[in-house]
């Protein structure tokens, strides 16, 4: 199952999920204890963003920080670079062209996961004539960084960085990173939006709703973000119904302004499961987009086995565009994964990779299967979106970008 694939069970509980090993259960218990301590110290309530931050990124304990398999057959989900090298190679063709067009020579990848994207992209980015001189990886998880080193140790020009560089010139790439950032949850109560956070009940973690009355950290930021969204939806005659539950990523603005401050000039390419705000915050999506993944099962209960599974929420690409514009980027493109990959030349890449292969061979069939999963609307083709941002580029440095001109969706943002 892809990371944000269709939900196969609606309520996890003990039903359907594979049983974790005793060691895994003991690990989850340690994560649970840490979060219980935090909730108690905070007076009985923490925001969902804080819960998610701890469950995913608590040092040495969180899902991404600790040693769970996470990706691939042994793990909980797969991402596009693991589905097929066609994804990474096709993206790399455009990245290579942008480096050449802007006279820059560096790539910075955020949240590289297993390092698979870098490994396959570097085959294209190091072809003769390529401008690439430096490929930097920025990863918050020590466990994943160790795996990336294992995958990429023999490649020249690859380096790991612990913080954003200064004066970066080149191309920044992030696949499925924004939807892994902690999200705030809200529920519509009467005329206002209330915070949906986490408290302690008799049988464990519980959803707790409270008005943003200034008593909890982050209330003021919540009110500001909620009011902006309510106003924006009203402009389109949209009022979310009573009980509607949704999410946003409160640290997006900070992420974007830090990136902008680090970047002198170049291109940012973002790929994630997500939608423009009007489609994401639509009355039909009354339960929001929060999803959890454990051993290729998708479910909706983030309190189940904390530290053992992934938690994610779809990205509001209107918010990404707003943050980016505020931070001084230009939103140069927005489209679906299928349109991006088709415009970027996935067919030519398929031809290159399939040359000499017997159409009945496992390698050929795997390429064909990968292309279908990446492109089909019911798979990843429509639900994953690509956004291109540019910073301090002159007119014409990147003109008529083919990967975004096939289907320009910027009007929907
Ligand atoms: C869902 S995984 C995607 C991994 C990889 N990009 C792929 O497509 O397979 C999310 C990745 O983002 C990393 N991550 C989350 N927050 C981050 C941040 N603020 N800076 C850098 N990496 C981050 C996680 O540790 C993980 O490697």
The Å distance, Cα 110 to ligand 1 centre, comes to 6
Q: Does residue 16 have a pLDDT over 80?
A: no
Q: How far away, in angstroms, is 180 Cα from ligand 1 center?
A: 7
Write the pLDDT tens digit of every residue in 31-53.
999 999 999 999 999 999 999 99
Inform me whether the pLDDT recorded for 199 exceeds 90.
yes
Return the SS3 of 92: helix
For the stretch 216-234, pLDDT in tens is: 999 999 999 999 999 999 9
**Average pLDDT in the 355-376 region?**
96
Q: Determine the average pLDDT of the residues in 249-275.
A: 97
> How much is the pTM?
0.95
Q: Measuring CA to CA, which residue among 276, 268, 192, 260 is closest to residue 230? A: 192
Mutation pick for ligand 1 pocket among 111, 253, 258 (CB with most ligand atoms within 8 Å): 111
DSSP 33-62: HHHHHHHHHTTS-B-HHHHHHHHHHSTTTS
What is the C-alpha separation between 158 and 259, in angstroms, rounded? 20
At residue 1, the pLDDT reads 57
Q: Which CATH number fits domain 24-76+185-251+283-313: 3.40.50.720, 3.40.50.12710, 3.40.930.10, 3.40.50.2300?
A: 3.40.50.12710
pLDDT value for 187: 97
Per-residue DSSP letter, 166: S
Query: Ligand 1 within 6 A of 110 CB?
Result: yes
Predicted confidence at residue 13, as pLDDT, reads 45
User: Which ligand 1 atom sits nearest the alpha carbon of residue 271?
Assistant: 8
**Is the distance from the beta carbon of residue 115 to the nearest atom of ligand 1 less than 6 Å?**
no
Which protein residue's CA is at the shortest distance from atom 4 of ligand 1?
113
62 Cβ below 6 A of ligand 1? no
Cα separation, 176 vs 116, whole angstroms: 13
- Answer whether 24-76+185-251+283-313 and 80-180+264-277+316-412 agree in fold: yes
- pLDDT classification of 102: cutoffs 50, 70, 90: very high
pLDDT at residue 12 in the model: 41
Share of the chain above pLDDT 90, in %: 88
pLDDT computed for residue 75 by the predictor: 85
- Give the Cα separation of 57 and 131 in Å (integer): 35
- 288 Cα to the center of ligand 1, angstroms: 22
Going from N- to C-terminal start, the domains of the chain cover 24-76+185-251+283-313, 80-180+264-277+316-412
Q: Give yes or no for residue 302 CB within 6 A of ligand 1.
A: no
Q: Is the pLDDT of residue 24 over 80?
A: yes
Decide if pLDDT at 157 tops 70.
yes
- The CA 70 to ligand 1 mean position distance, Å, reads 11
Is the pLDDT at 9 greater than 60, yes or no? no
Q: What Rg value do the Cα atoms of the chain yield, rounded?
A: 21
Q: Report pLDDT digits (tens) over 377-404.
A: 999 999 999 999 999 998 888 878 999 9
For residue 3, which atom of ligand 1 is closest to its CA?
A: 1
Please report which confidence band the pLDDT of residue 72 belongs to, taking 50, 70 and 90 as the band edges: confident
Between CA 41 and CA 26 the distance in angstroms is: 23
Compute the distance from residue 192 Cα to the ligand 1 centre, in Å.
33
Tens-digit pLDDT profile for residues 128-152 = 999 999 999 999 999 999 999 999 9
pLDDT at 10 over 50: no
CA 53 / ligand 1 centre spacing (Å): 13
Is 148 touching ligand 1 by the criterion CB < 6 Å? no
pLDDT tens, residue by residue, 77-89: 899 999 999 999 9
CATH architecture entry for 80-180+264-277+316-412: 3-Layer(aba) Sandwich (3.40)
67 confidence band (pLDDT: 50, 70, 90): confident
Give the other-Cβ count within 10 Å of 170's Cβ: 26
pLDDT in the model for residue 17: 83
DSSP state of 180: G
User: Of all residues in the chain, what percent carry a pLDDT higher than 70?
Assistant: 96
């Amino acid at each position: 199952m892809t990371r944000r694939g269709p939900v196969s069970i609606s309520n996890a509980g003990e039903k359907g999920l594979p049983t974790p090993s005793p060691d895994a259960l003991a690990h989850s218990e340690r994560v649970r204890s840490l979060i219980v301590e935090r909730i108690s110290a905070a007076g009985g309530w923490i925001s969902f963003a804080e819960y998610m931050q701890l469950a995913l990124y608590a040092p040495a304990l969180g899902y991404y920080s600790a040693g769970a398999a996470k990706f691939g057959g042994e793990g909980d989900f797969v991402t596009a670079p693991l589905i097929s090298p066609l994804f990474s190679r096709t993206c790399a063709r455009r990245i290579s062209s942008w480096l050449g067009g802007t006279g820059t020579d560096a790539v910075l990848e955020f949240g590289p996961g297993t390092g698979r994207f870098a490994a396959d992209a570097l085959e294209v980015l190091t072809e003769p004539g390529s401008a690439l001189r430096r490929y930097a990886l920025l990863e918050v998880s020590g466990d994943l960084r160790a795996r990336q080193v294992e995958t990429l140790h023999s490649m020249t020009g690859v380096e790991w960085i612990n913080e954003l560089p200064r004066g970066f010139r080149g191309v920044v790439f992030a696949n499925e990173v924004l939807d892994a950032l902690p999200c705030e949850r809200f529920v519509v109560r009467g005329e206002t939006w209330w915070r949906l956070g986490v408290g302690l009940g008799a049988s464990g973690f519980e959803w707790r709703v409270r008005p943003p009355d200034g008593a909890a950290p982050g209330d003021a930021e919540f009110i500001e973000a909620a009011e902006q969204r309510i106003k924006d939806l009203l402009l389109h005659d949209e009022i979310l119904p009573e009980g509607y539950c949704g999410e946003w990523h409160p640290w997006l603005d900070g992420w974007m302004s830090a990136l902008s401050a680090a970047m002198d000039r170049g291109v940012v390419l973002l790929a994630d499961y997500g939608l423009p705000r009007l489609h994401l915050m639509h009355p039909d999506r009354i339960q929001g987009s929060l999803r959890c993944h454990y051993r290729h099962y998708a479910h909706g209960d983030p309190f189940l086995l904390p530290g053992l599974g992934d938690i994610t929420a779809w990205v509001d690409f209107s918010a990404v565009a707003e943050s980016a514009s505020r931070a001084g980027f230009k939103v140069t493109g927005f489209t679906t994964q299928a349109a991006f990959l088709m415009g970027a030349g996935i067919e030519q890449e398929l031809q290159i990779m399939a040359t000499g292969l017997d159409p009945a061979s496992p390698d050929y069939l795997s390429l064909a299967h990968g292309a279908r999963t990446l492109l089909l609307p019911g798979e990843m083709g429509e639900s994953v979106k690509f956004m291109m941002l540019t910073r301090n580029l002159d007119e014409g440095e990147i003109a008529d970008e083919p990967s975004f001109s096939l289907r320009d969706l910027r009007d929907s943002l």
